[in-house]
Amino acid sequence: MLLTDIHAHLDFDEFKDLAELIPKWKEAGLKAVISNGVNIKSNRDTIRLAKKYDIVKPALGFYPVHAIEISEENFDEELAWIGKQDPIALGEVGLDYSSGDDNPFGDEKKDEMK
Kindly report the CATH number that applies to the domain delimited by 3-113. Answer: 3.20.20.140
* H-helix or E-strand spanning residue 21: helix 18-27
20 pLDDT exceeds 80? yes
Percent of the chain topping pLDDT 70: 82
Nearest residue to 8 via CA among 38, 44, 39, 28: 38
Query: Would you place residue 22 in the very low, low, confident or very high pLDDT band (cuts 50, 70, 90)?
Result: very high
Q: Which pLDDT value is given to residue 48?
A: 98
Alpha-carbon gap, residue 66 to 50, rounded angstroms = 22
pTM: 0.82
Per-domain residue ranges for the chain? Answer: 3-113
